[in-house]
A = this chain, B = another copy of it.
Amino acid sequence: MSPIDALAELLGPRHCLRDAADTAPYAADWRGSYRGAPLAVLRPGTVAEVAAAVARCGAAGIAVVPAGGRTGLCGAAVVSPGGPAAVVLSLERLNRIRDIDARDFSLVAEAGCVVQRVQEAAAEAGRFFPIAWGAQGSAQIGGMLSTNAGGIRTIRWGNARDLVLGLEVVLPDGRVLNDLRRVRKDNSGYALRHLFLGAEGTLGVITAAALRLVPALKRVETAFVAVPSPDAALTLLSRVMGSGAEVIAFELVQRICLEMVAEHGPHLRLPLPLDSPWYVMVELAAAHPDVPVRAMLEASLAEALEAGECTDAVLAGNEAQRTAFWRIREDYPEFARMAGPAISTDTAVPVSAVPEFLARVEQVLAERWPEGRMVAIGHAGDGNIHVGLRAPPGVTREDWMTRAGAADMAVNEIAVALGGSFSAEHGIGVSKLHVMQALKDPLAIEVMRGIKRLLDPRGVMNPGKVLPAN
């Protein structure tokens, strides 16, 4: 019996897909940027099945590529063409919320739960699960944790990693490391779970997690603000944070991004005229209804107007307006794709270094690629700005990659020089391996390789991802 036949017997033929028509959706990521054909697609229905499947793949020398919603941006959940023969291990059938405990502010979810479902379950229990980003309606908990997802709320509640209390992981040899505890304090040895969080499936398969919930929000206020410069934006951030208000989002948006929205999303009404070089979206919240959030936001903005940190501001008057503000931000990536080819990046710098970062990037891009156009948008409150370099009209994607592909590295180098990261929230996958090789501390890579060899000596788990080849 072939190894794949044995896996079909283990999981049942309906859950070991081999026909090209059935495996096709799993042979590419969500956007279609990465493609690779798996030997088969495994859809185990229990942790024991995950463990048995991983063990058998290891014994047969077949690589395992874990996959969730496949919404990642770096190709981690797709088979690498040219790599070893591999199956895709989809966690989609492990989609139960095993437990929710409102008094404990915790929830235990399996890897295949869609993120939005976890948000909804928390809300039904009068609680809030704060990780949020555009793909939350498709992304799954396993992928969220394996990429240590960020998004628009990290300024207040951290990345996905920070909301994990316990983890259940199938190791590359098929044994199960069960640390699925809802305990908030545990100093019994090394913090193993942090190895698997953000490891993109290269050290094992996350099958379930105990997640921290927070009190439901009772007051949320959002402002759209015109600011003269990134420096002014950061001074405004410092003012609002320093006021003691609870800032749950602080996004910086370059005017060109809103111009693209105006051009491609005529149904979206822009809240302010496009006469400012930069804009900020700031959101304050409170879990207690008696916190005067609106007055707090108005007071900070009034001071900022007085101080010249902003030139105009509008608060969402109701929930519909607030949703409309966020539609602009959330739909932007789609409008950006419609607007033509661009080099994109995912850097972070210390929050206070954002203005210098943008100034240096603007200068370097203008000098080296004067025909391109810089676009910048991002989570300024975390120092995480997504800078892009747009092609001039008429230039194809291939042409632009050839001419300006190095812009990616130029931006990354500036971020690293300022004490930042070349991968803030998207991860490495395959698309950033060359940047890991070029810019990551070689000693850190050496330690990471040692950990990979220790946990996965046969190289079963997601080979060719995260760590550049030796």
Specify the chain B residue showing the minimal Cβ separation from A186: B421
Q: Give the complex CA separation of A417 and B6 in angstroms.
A: 37
Contacting pair A198 B191 (CB below 8 A):
yes
Contacting pair A192 B447 (CB below 8 A):
yes
Set of chain B residues within 8 Å of A466, measured between Cβ atoms? 189-190
Q: Does residue A262 face the partner (Cβ distance < 8 Å to B)? A: no
Contacting pair A447 B244 (CB below 8 A):
no
Specify the chain B residue showing the minimal Cβ separation from A439: B188
Set of chain B residues within 8 Å of A101, measured between Cβ atoms? 350, 352
Q: Could you say which of A104, A198, A296 has the most chain B C-beta atoms within 10 Å of its C-beta?
A: A104
Contacting pair A450 B454 (CB below 8 A):
yes
Contacting pair A183 B420 (CB below 8 A):
yes
Also in contact, A423 and B188, with CB within 8 A (given A177-B443, A292-B290, A455-B447): yes
Set of chain B residues within 8 Å of A420, measured between Cβ atoms? 181, 183
Q: Give the complex CA separation of A348 and B216 in angstroms.
A: 25
Q: Does residue A441 face the partner (Cβ distance < 8 Å to B)? A: yes
Binary flags per residue of A146-186, CB closer than 8 Å to B gives 1, else 0: 01101000100011011000000001000111110111111
Q: Does residue A374 face the partner (Cβ distance < 8 Å to B)? A: no
Whole-angstrom distance from the CB of A56 to the nearest CB of chain B? 19
Binary flags per residue of A228-250, CB closer than 8 Å to B gives 1, else 0: 00000011001001111110000
Q: Give the complex CA separation of A425 and B185 in angstroms.
A: 6
Q: Does residue A402 face the partner (Cβ distance < 8 Å to B)? A: no
| Contact partner, A183, options B158, B188, B245, B348, Cβ 8 Å | B348
Binary flags per residue of A420-454, CB closer than 8 Å to B gives 1, else 0: 11111111100010011000110111011011001
Stretch at the interface among A79-87, A281-289, A322-330: A281-289
Contacting pair B467 A189 (CB below 8 A):
yes
Q: Give the complex CA separation of A194 and B184 in angstroms.
A: 16
Q: Give the complex CA separation of A179 and B352 in angstroms.
A: 18
Contacting pair B185 A421 (CB below 8 A):
yes
| Contact partner, A423, options B186, B349, B423, B445, Cβ 8 Å | B186
Contacting pair A448 B295 (CB below 8 A):
no
Also in contact, A288 and B244, with CB within 8 A (given A178-B441, A419-B181): yes
Whole-angstrom distance from the CB of A387 to the nearest CB of chain B? 15
Q: Does residue A195 face the partner (Cβ distance < 8 Å to B)? A: yes
Whole-angstrom distance from the CB of A227 to the nearest CB of chain B? 15
Q: Give the complex CA separation of A88 and B427 in angstroms.
A: 40
Q: Does residue A208 face the partner (Cβ distance < 8 Å to B)? A: no
Q: Does residue A384 face the partner (Cβ distance < 8 Å to B)? A: yes
Specify the chain B residue showing the minimal Cβ separation from A215: B244
Contacting pair B448 A351 (CB below 8 A):
no
Q: Give the complex CA separation of A179 and B421 in angstroms.
A: 11
Q: Does residue A71 face the partner (Cβ distance < 8 Å to B)? A: no
| Contact partner, A244, options B286, B424, B450, B455, Cβ 8 Å | B286
Whole-angstrom distance from the CB of A166 to the nearest CB of chain B? 8
Binary flags per residue of A188-205, CB closer than 8 Å to B gives 1, else 0: 111110110111000100
Whole-angstrom distance from the CB of A30 to the nearest CB of chain B? 18
| Contact partner, A185, options B154, B218, B295, Cβ 8 Å | B154
Whole-angstrom distance from the CB of A51 to the nearest CB of chain B? 12
Contacting pair A187 B428 (CB below 8 A):
yes
Set of chain B residues within 8 Å of A450, measured between Cβ atoms? 454-455
Also in contact, A187 and B286, with CB within 8 A (given A215-B242, A244-B215, A448-B192): no
Q: Give the complex CA separation of A436 and B217 in angstroms.
A: 40
Known: A150-B187, A187-B428. 17 other contacts (CB 8 A): A105-B351, A147-B187, A161-B191, A182-B419, A183-B383, A183-B420, A184-B384, A185-B382, A185-B425, A186-B423, A188-B421, A191-B195, A191-B198, A195-B195, A243-B287, A244-B291, A245-B287
A sample of 29 inter-chain contacts (CB < 8 A) reads A104-B352, A105-B241, A147-B187, A158-B162, A175-B443, A176-B443, A177-B443, A178-B441, A181-B350, A183-B350, A184-B351, A184-B382, A185-B421, A187-B423, A188-B422, A188-B423, A188-B428, A188-B435, A189-B436, A189-B466, A189-B467, A190-B448, A191-B197, A191-B198, A244-B286, A245-B288, A288-B291, A291-B291, A291-B292
